[in-house]
Chain A
Amino acid sequence: KNQVEQSPQSLIILEGKNCTLQCNYTVSPFSNLRWYKQDTGRGPVSLTIMTFSENTKSNGRYTATLDADTKQSSLHITASQLSDSASYICVVSASGGSYIPTFGRGTSLIVHP
């Protein structure tokens, strides 16, 4: 069964600090992995998308890594800002044409001043 597990479930950090969120998956055969940011009550917004051959991708202060061998990904946030407070969702898609994704439950990040 395809599964995506994220940790930690929630995280509180001080503004300006760095943090790393984890994602482990069992989706097979692997097609791509995406990280989304979801503000409360709003639709998810894509941060990064990585395929099998990519192991690092950055988007501003967000850097995602992928280890396809261990089926793990991480999202590193540098110099956090209050606006980074949100839920971060890891989404993994299997190959096969329809791109039906498997969603993680998300990590809730709170950045305090």
Chain B
Amino acid sequence: DSGVTQTPKHLITATGQRVTLRCSPRSGDLSVYWYQQSLDQGLQFLIQYYNGEERAKGNILERFSAQQFPDLHSELNLSSLELGDSALYFCASSVVGTGEQYFGPGTRLTVT
């Protein structure tokens, strides 16, 4: 158990819908990262937050957005969903200065 929690574990929704994925980092970790992993693909970095502020952006679509709240939990919002958005979405948290990231169990999103 990495100490990072993600909810829900599974999500099935229809095209055009909007969903919110939630992540709680390890206690004391200020940084949160979001990744997308499509079937048989590598992990793709989406976005990083540090202590409530956006720190870095990767290949995140304009239909996707995220935020980190004062209690350090983070949410990833996916809107106007398309079939190609079906994937595993991972959240990771880290201690500043080490680069070591701890991954959550992931949310499996299926868009039908």
A interface with B by C-beta (< 8 Å):
31-32, 34, 41-46, 49, 89, 93, 98-101, 103-106
Distance in Å: Cβ of B23 to nearest Cβ of chain A? 11
Q: Within 8 Å of chain A (Cβ to Cβ): is B106?
A: yes
Q: Within 8 Å of chain A (Cβ to Cβ): is B43?
A: yes
The A-B contact count (CB < 8 A) is 54
Question: Of residues 58 to 112 in B, which have CB atoms within 8 Å of A's CB atoms?
Answer: 58, 88, 90, 92, 94, 98-106, 108
A44 touches B56 (CB 8 A): no
Interface of B (DSSP majority class)? strand
Q: Within 8 Å of chain A (Cβ to Cβ): is B18?
A: no
Q: Which residues of chain A are within 8 angstroms of B48 by Cβ–Cβ distance?
A: 98, 100
A42 touches B42 (CB 8 A): no
B45 touches A101 (CB 8 A): yes
Cα separation A106 to B41 with both chains bound (whole Å): 9
Q: Which residues of chain A are within 8 angstroms of B88 by Cβ–Cβ distance?
A: 41
Distance in Å: Cβ of B51 to nearest Cβ of chain A? 13
Look across to chain B and name the residue whose beta carbon is closest to the beta carbon of A43: B103
Q: Which residues of chain A are within 8 angstroms of B108 by Cβ–Cβ distance?
A: 41
Q: Which residues of chain A are within 8 angstroms of B58 by Cβ–Cβ distance?
A: 100
